[in-house]
Amino acid sequence: MSSGMETVEIVDRWLFETLSGDAALMELIGGDDQLISTLAKAGVKPPYVVWFMSSERDLSVVGGIRSQVDTIYTVKAVGEGATWEKVKPIAHRIDQLLDMQDVTLPYGTVSCRRQTIVQYPEVDQATQFRHLGATYRIYANSL
Amino acid sequence: MSVVVKYNHLPRVIKALPREVDRAVDKTGNEGAEIARQLAPVRSGILVGTTEGKDRGRLHAEIWSGVYRGHGFYAGFVEFGANQPGGHAQPYMIPTAHLLERVLVRNVTDAVKDACDV
């Protein structure tokens, strides 16, 4: 049985702890102020890492009891520049930290698998930005 | 005296199966487009107006939203976000695909039953 709001209480928390706890990633982006959950903080300049829930559904067992949640999260690096060079090491590190993770935490269990790469450029007033990351399927249970 | 009746409908099932499953895939694509239109954020209505299911041949359907370099070209920015202020992601295609996993299983199951109902 799983309870609570697993996306906020388990998945978001695990993502922040995992990403902010990695010294290599922090060095690449310049600290955990550059980690953004869903909505950008004012004044944050690239490069930064942003994640958000793309989709969620509950998985229930006999009796309608929720056993876990099945979520899809997008986690990506955003950088300024006309090539992928700046965001590539960041996205690569994110993938090393998140893909194929099955962890039991004091507040729940998490199972994470990469699904698809997310990659696109953006031009804003002649300035190019690059978005590179992936969608991850994350199953979570509150124990 | 005993009578033994032997049936072998397998060739007819094998013949009907691809046709029925293909129909189920196309149906799922159209249902997905309908779901995506309901989930799409609406400002001008262009995303809703350009979201449609397309039959792409045998056992293949696609759902498109926005026209490349045309109306609704920004669908990807809506789905995954932009760097600009207020450019946060508002996913609607991924939730659609997520929902469609179960719809596809149901539709294909029905198609297999229909194929066997020869």
Report yes or no on A1 lying in a domain. no
Task: Give the pTM.
Answer: 0.89
* Model pLDDT for residues A52-65, shown as the tens digit of each residue: 999 999 999 999 89
* Model pLDDT for residues B56-115, shown as the tens digit of each residue: 889 999 999 988 777 878 899 999 999 877 788 999 999 999 999 999 999 999 999 999
Strands A108-124 and A101-105 turn out to be antiparallel
Q: Which whole-number Å values give the CA distances from A41 to A18, A33, A46, A140, B88, in the listed order?
A: 20, 9, 12, 27, 11
Q: Is the pLDDT of residue A19 over 70?
A: yes
Q: Is the pLDDT of residue A25 over 90?
A: yes
Residue in A70, A118, A129 nearest the CB of B80: A118
**pLDDT score for A119:** 97
* Model pLDDT for residues B7-16, shown as the tens digit of each residue: 888 888 899 9
Domain definitions of chain B by residue range: 10-116
Report yes or no on A65 lying in a domain. yes
All residues of chain B having their beta carbon less than 8 Å from the beta carbon of residue A118 are 80
- Contact by Cβ (8 Å): A32, A25: no
A–B interface: beta-carbon pairs under 8 A: 49
- Grouping H, G, I as helix, E, B as strand and the rest as coil, residue B114 is helix
The parent domain of residue A94 ranges over 6-141
Interatomic CA distance for residues B47 and B40, integer angstroms: 7
Interatomic CA distance for residues A138 and A97, integer angstroms: 13
* ipTM for the whole complex: 0.87
Q: How many domains is chain A built from? A: 1
Interatomic CA distance for residues A112 and A73, integer angstroms: 10
Report yes or no on A10 lying in a domain. yes
Closest by CA position to A137, among listed A70, A60, A49? A70
Specify the CATH number for the domain of residue A99. 3.30.2000.30
Q: Is the pLDDT of residue A44 over 90?
A: no
Chain B touched by A34 (CB under 8 Å): no
Report yes or no on A46 lying in a domain. yes
Range A25-30 average pLDDT: 96
Instruction: Check B83 against A52: CB less than 8 A apart.
Output: no
